[in-house]
Every structure is written in C-alpha cells, then in structure tokens.
Amino acid sequence: MKNLIIATALATTALSSAAMAEGITEFRIGILGGENAQDRMNSNECLRAYTQDLLGVETKLFAPADYNGVIQGLLGGTLDMAWLGASSYAAVYLQDPEAVEPVLVKINLDGSFGYHSIGFARKDSGITSLESMKGKVFGFGDPNSTSGYLIPSIEIPQTTGSTMENGAYFGEVKFTGGHEQTIVAVNNGDVDGGVTWADGQGNWEDGFNSGALRKAVDAGLVDMNDLVEIWRSKPIPEGPVVLRKSLPQDVKDKMIALVDGLHEADADCAYGVAAGESLGFNPIGHDAYVSIIEARKAKSN
C-alpha cells in the first residue's frame, strides 16, 4: 500500500475519482510479445493496478500472441499505451505518424539506453560462431521485432557475405514466433541457433541484467551454462514507451510521471515491467528512432 501511495503521488496531485482522467472511460495497455501471455500479464499487473488507481478508470492489459497485435491495436486506437521495440514503433509510425508518441525509454544500469541482438546456440552443439552455423537451422523471433529480426537480418549478412534465404548460408531460416520461443527452441535443439534481445551487461549466467534471456532464466526455462553466445549486434536504441497521441494531455502527463517514477516507488514492479534490472525510464523522443525507421523502410522496399 505504501508503494501505491508513493507511485500515485509521483504522478502529481491527490487522487479523487474518474474526474482525474477526464475524457476517457478506460485505459488499455498493450504488452508486446516476448514471453508467454500469462507471464507478461503477471509482470505488468502492478502497473495496471497503479494506473487504475491513478486515473480512476478501469485499466486493462492486452497481451496479443504476436507483435502485430499490439501494432494494430495502437493504429486502431484500441490501445492507449505500450512499450514497443524500436522496429515496432517504426511500423506504427510508417503507417500513421499521428497514432502514437514516444515518451519514455528504459535506462540500463550504466546509464545507456541501448541493447543488443544476441546470437546464441547450445554449448554442447559445438557451435561457437556464425561460421560454425553454416548449413544449420537458424531461428528468428517475430518479423516485427528489432533484435529478433530487423537488425540481425541486416547485420548478419554483412558478416557472412550471404543472404538469409534458406540454403544460401544457413541450411534453413525460420520464425519461431517470439523471443521466448526462440530461446526454448535453441535450448531444446529444435533450431541450432537463434537471436534474442539483451542489454549485454552483467553476467552471462544470469541472462545479462535485462532482456529476454534474463526473463527466461527468472522463469526457470533455461540454464545459461547450457548456452553460448555466437554473435552480437551493434548497439540498438531501446524501444520506447508510447502513448496514443489523441489522449487528453492530463492523462499523458500522469502516465509519464507514473512510469518515470516507478523504479523509485516500487523496484519489484519496475523489474517486471522493464524485463530485469534497470535504472527505470527516462524521457525520449521520436528523433532517437529515425535510423530504425529508415532501416525498416529500406527492408520493406
């Protein structure tokens, strides 16, 4: 209860009732794919509760099966907020520049807001690099994922000198459906190697400080000692928390303040929302994602 009072106080003024959120009757938060729906809902339940108490209107979480479900929800106005990957934000922006606005970004423990696409394989497979992946089965995550598809599909061919087409360098390239699915597929030997996201900081055995590997370790899905890193992308700008542009400014201001203050108010809640250890969220704007927007545009041409 103390944390709830602190968090809501950070979002300015005292709470009263639904009048605090004039102009809306409910608030809907989309949760991007990456792990199974129930785990995503559990990790974000505290944010839902804080939001509902703050705005005074019913707040709901939505965890679609894939990234496109969140993208379409934002484009259609049926979602009010989401933490997107950079490529997913680019997808929304390219279809409707007026749909959402980026407002906050997760900050790593070193103060940066970048992360990496991490290529990995099972240690007992003998695969130690992209070179030893030649002719083998490679797993992407979701086609709307920055680290699970967009960036590795651009950077890996620069390393291999070949395309990502089946049989060109890898024996087969397939989509697993998401980050958790890729991690499980590699761990189970269903694919020989794949890519997922991580801040690339901290210890390998912990799944780094934050990201899909950290969440998989926390969930008991993998032992990182069974896996090995085989590739790492250049730094990628962390995706933004976005708000529907047409929301009342009062609502936007309160949600920005709530998420911005979440780390100090409730560290456990912030850990779940941010997919691991972080310094919380800081303000961010559209300009941070221009390079990703251009990369996505070029990929679709």
Q: Would you call 152 helix, strand, or coil by DSSP?
A: helix
Cα–Cα distance, 184 to 70 (Å, whole number): 23
Q: Extract the tokens encoding 292.
A: 């990703």
Spatial CA neighbour of 140 closest among 71, 61, 196, 56: 196
pLDDT of res. 47 = 98
pLDDT of res. 1 = 43
pLDDT of res. 39 = 86
Q: Give DSSP secondary structure letters for 179-235.
A: HHHHHHHHHHTSSSEEEEEE---S-GGGT-SBBHHHHHHHTTS--GGGEEEEEEPSP
Cα–Cα distance, 252 to 289 (Å, whole number): 20
pLDDT of res. 146 = 95
Q: Extract the tokens encoding 284.
A: 């961010």
pLDDT of res. 18 = 37
Q: How many other C-beta atoms can be found within 10 angstroms of the C-beta atom of residue 101?
A: 16
- Full pLDDT tens readout for the chain, 301 residues: 444 444 444 544 333 333 456 689 999 999 987 667 788 899 999 999 999 999 999 999 999 989 999 999 999 999 999 999 999 999 999 999 999 999 999 999 999 999 999 999 999 999 999 999 999 999 999 999 999 999 999 999 999 999 999 999 999 999 999 999 999 999 999 999 999 999 999 999 999 999 999 999 999 999 999 999 999 999 999 999 999 999 999 999 999 999 999 999 999 999 999 999 999 999 999 999 999 999 999 988 7
pLDDT of res. 257 = 97
